[in-house]
Amino acid sequence: MGAGLALPALEARLADERLEVLGGFAVAEGEAGFPAGTRTLLLLGPQEPGFWAHLTAQPEWAEFEKDGNPDPVDRWSRRVIGRIACDLGAKALFPFGGPPYQPFYRWALRTGRVWDSPVRLLVHAGQGLMVSFRGALALKEVVEVPPPVARPCDTCPAPCLTACPVGALTGAGYDLAACHAFLDQPEGAECLSNGCLVRRACPVSQSYARLPEQSAYHMRQFHR
């Protein structure tokens, strides 16, 4: 790939690794905050169904299970997205590895397909509150990006606002200490095993085929 890069061709390449374009936007020539020459930024995340089964069959996961080699998801992301970026003559950017950290939250809002939810977490048009970013591609070509869509929260009764048993996630923000304290209790096992109740309460999340095993892994990493 290279000159004349089309979004469908890139999406087919990403699908081989169970990744998809979650949104993107045009970057003005010379715009600050991006690698030199960037004209399009695409945000990448898991494509379901199938992402977790694919990832846990990779070398990084085998090393994690055998030797406890940490951060298998991040290491896989660096390898796979880095290779794709190399093939495209692009630059791979990641939401981990800082500080400093890349402004993925701000970039996501710029796509018109991800928004600030009532509980302040990002919510995606297709993944709801389960949205996660594995990386981004800073492309030197002007590439068509997925178009903006209507914000699902605008017509939603917002069950996310009342889903947390201890009120750790509300419209006022996130009480991190209260969340961890709840997860330390027997009552917190449901969140640890199946994922955050607030994220799962989102109607869009409920239509997204993310496996509980993936949520459990991330909850364990969060609550170490």
pLDDT in tens, 168-216: 999 999 999 999 999 999 999 999 999 999 999 999 999 999 999 999 9
Whole domain around residue 80: which residue ranges? 1-95+133-148
> Does residue 176 belong to any structural domain of this protein?
no
Tell me if 223 is assigned to some domain. no
Predicted pLDDT at 15: 97
pLDDT of residue 163: 97
Contact predicate 30/23, CB 8 Å: no
107 backbone dihedrals φ, ψ, rounded to 5°: -60, -40
In a domain? residue 124 = no
pLDDT value at 220 more than 50: yes
What is the pLDDT, as a whole number, of residue 38?
98
- Work out the end-to-end distance of the chain between its first and last CA atoms, rounded to an integer number of angstroms: 41
- In-domain check, residue 122: no
In a domain, 50, yes or no: yes
For residue range 27-56, what is the model confidence (pLDDT) as tens digits? Answer: 999 999 999 999 999 999 999 999 999 999
Rama region for 110: left / alpha / beta (φ>0; ψ in -120 to 50; rest): alpha
How many angstroms separate the CA atoms of 45 and 209, rounded? Answer: 13
Inter-axis angle of helices 7-15 and 72-88, to 10 degrees?
140
Q: How many domains does the chain have?
A: 1
